[in-house]
Amino acid sequence: MVTTPAPSRLRAASSAARSLPSLAVAFFSGPVGLAVKIALLAIMNALSVWAAVVLVDHHKWVAVAVLALVTAIIDWIYLTPRAYPAKFLLPGTIFLIAFQVIPVIYTVQVAFTNYSTGHVLTKSEAVTQIRQNSFVPADNGRTFTMAPARDDKGHVVLLMVDQNNGKAFVGTSGGGLAPLAAGSVKKDIDGVITSAPGYTIPQGPDRLALATDLNTFVVHAGSSEIQPQGLDSAVEVRQTLRYDSAHNRFVRISDGALFTDSGRGSFVSGSGEAIEPGWRTGIGFANFGQMIHDPLVRGPFLRVFVWTVAFAALTVLFSFSLGLFLAITLDKPGMRFQRFYRSALIIPYAIPGVLSLLVWQGLLNDDFGVINKSILHTQVPWLFDANWARVSVIVVSTWLTAPYFFLVSLGALQSIPQELTEAARVDGAGAWQNFRKVTLPLLLVAVTPLMIASFAFNFNNFGSIYLLTGGGPSTSDGSVAGATDILISYTYKLAFVVGKGTNYGLASAIAILIFFIVAGISWISFSRTKALENLA
């Protein structure tokens, strides 16, 4: 005999289940919730104090003020009952500022600087680095076995033994050499200095901590100087450049050549020779001007721009067409295995795009790819011929995007009232006229904004290009931009591949230009779609 629960018991169980969220809210709104809130605020304030200490140590006073203000606002919001709505708005606002507003502001700021390889330091750091780099090994210079040590006052000194004659010396930073008694400096079997009377040689982490001090440690030795080389040796060097702080310039000692501040983050001679490293500074619109005047940047820009627009537009067109075709095909009532087909068609949308692109790269391999070897039985240069590579990236991007438009179109089709299509049939419209005059216009009202968003996404679809073709193959003009490079991958190459290394300033300038291009195209497209609203 099978018994079933009474309806009253089922209703009671259902009511209890529905009340669990309410009970949880009530539980955490009482003393327990207050304790948890205070604990979380205490952790946040402790992290803020730690961050403030670090910022003060680096003399970042504006950041300290902002940190203190934000911390105070957060404490006030979560400890004041009247600020109840702000408690829910605050987390989203913080993430919006941290991941959207600040990166945008930082990108704009970098676009007006020379931030690049060789220009990442401050001016004072660059001057110090140049002075250190200006020392070269002296002719017939001495070499020393060396160990950093501390004297009785705690000052860092160098214990040195001349490798030629075995004489021992002690050197002080900015001072000279002082001889030590013969045999006073002890070495172990490996020749490493281990002790000297009156001096303490740090060991372990304390010894490694002296590495920063040794970077700027210089011992004067007559007309030359002695610099540490690591933690166990030192060499006699001579200076090639002298810094004239009164006139803010470097003087080359050999010929008296002057290197003055160029105003663009470098010390430059009259002949145009620059000393490295430089420093980071504002250069106005120079990065934007480089896009116009530098042939390496300007030359392929138009070609890349045209291909970017074509790539984004064709991908959206083919993806939407394929997705709409599949949606219409699978929207027939009574079709067998309809759910299975729908589920199978969204698999490309469910698989991570990175994995799909890498798999497609293998499938399209000229020699070993499945498509050439097992399906076509020929060698089509999918990734190594300019035209075939463009076809490849459009086909793969369509394969990745079509499931999205399939889902969108399927939902839009099911929202169109059946009375409209039935009325069109009664008026004598055929299937094609019904689709073109009724279904498609109503469908576009809902789908067009999504098509514009998809166009903007594909306009900056770095992954589909870089992971599939790397922007290649190379073109006949020999420029850094390959046949399939779009603006964003071209920007990446300009920033990280061409020239001396990274060029964040130029990359940021091009990123701003790309933003205005996409924003302009999107604005025009959205303004055009207003005509469709009258059809709804």
Within this chain, do residues 441 and 341 fall inside the same structural domain, yes or no?
yes
Tokens of 51: 């961050």
Span 243-261, pLDDT tens digits: 998 999 999 988 899 999 9
User: Which pLDDT belongs to residue 153?
Assistant: 86
The b/e string for 474-497 (b: 16+ C-beta within 10 A; e otherwise) is ebeeebbbbbbbbbbbbbbbbbee
Same-domain status, 368 and 424: yes
Q: What is the mean pLDDT of residues 430-442?
A: 84
Q: Residue 406 burial by CB count (10 A; 0-12/13-18/19+): exposed, middle or buried?
A: buried
Considering the domain boundaries, does residue 324 fall inside one? yes
Task: Give the pLDDT band of residue 10 (cuts 50, 70, 90).
Answer: very low
Q: How far apart are CA 158 and CA 171, in angstroms?
A: 5
Q: Are 247 and 342 part of one and the same domain?
A: no
Q: Give the pLDDT score at 199.
A: 92
Q: What mean pLDDT do residues 151-161 have?
A: 89
Give per-residue pLDDT as tens, 204-253: 888 888 877 787 788 888 778 888 888 889 999 888 899 998 999 999 98
Domain shared by 482 and 384, yes or no: yes
174, part of any domain: yes
The lowest-confidence range among 9-13, 184-188, 191-195, 329-333 is: 9-13
Burial of 101 from C-beta contacts in 10 A (0-12 / 13-18 / 19+): exposed
Q: Does the structure show a pLDDT above 90 at 50?
A: yes
> What CATH number is given to the structural domain containing 332?
1.10.3720.10
In a domain, 119, yes or no: no
Full residue range of the structural domain in which residue 231 is found: 133-275
Residue 514 lies in a domain: yes
Whether cis (ω within 30° of 0) applies to the bond prior to 441 is: no
Decide if pLDDT at 4 tops 60: no
Q: Is pLDDT at 529 greater than 80 in this prediction?
A: no
Average pLDDT, the chain: 86
Same-domain status, 324 and 459:
yes
| Mean of pLDDT values over 112-137 | 90
532 pLDDT above the threshold of 70? no
Residue that terminates a domain, selected from 248, 275, 302: 275
Domain boundary among 275, 305, 320: 275
Angle subtended by helix axes 487-496 and 295-329, to nearest 10: 140
**In a shared domain, residues 228 and 335:** no
Q: Are residues 183 and 329 in the same domain?
A: no
Cα 388 to the chain's mean position, in Å? 31
pLDDT of residue 269: 92
Same domain, residue pair 270 and 300: no
pLDDT at 66: 92
Of the candidates 275, 310, 325, which is a domain's last residue? Answer: 275
In degrees and rounded to multiples of 5, residue 235 shows phi and psi of -135, 155
Q: Write the pLDDT tens digit of every residue in 67-94.
A: 999 999 999 988 887 877 888 888 888 8
Question: 530-536: which pairs have CB atoms within 8 A and are 24 or more residues apart?
Answer: 532/441, 532/444, 532/445, 532/448, 533/445, 535/441, 535/442, 535/445, 536/442, 536/445
- 88 in any annotated domain: no
Spatial distance between the Cα atoms of 159 and 144, rounded to a whole number of angstroms: 9
| Per-residue pLDDT at 131 exceeds 90 | no
Same structural domain, 240 and 362:
no
112 alpha carbon, distance to own chain's centre? 18
486 and 371 within one domain: yes
**pTM, to two decimals:** 0.75
Domain count, the chain: 2
Say if 207 falls within a structural domain. Answer: yes
Asked if residue 104 belongs to a domain, the reply is no
Q: What percent of the chain has pLDDT over 90?
A: 37
Tens of pLDDT along 270-285? Answer: 888 999 999 999 999 9
476 has pLDDT over 80: no
Same domain, 408 and 511: yes
> Is there a domain that residue 22 lies in?
no
Over residues 38-64, the mean pLDDT reads: 92
Report in angstroms the alpha-carbon separations of 107 from 113, 162, 307, 521. Answer: 10, 53, 25, 21
What is the SS3 assignment for 521? helix
Q: Give the mean pLDDT of 98-116.
A: 92
Tokens at residue 215, please? 């970077």
Taking residues 353-377, report their average pLDDT. 88
**Are 352 and 230 part of one and the same domain?**
no
Residue with the bigger pLDDT between 525 and 282: it is 282
Determine the Cα–Cα distance for residues 220 and 237; give it in Å rounded to an integer: 10
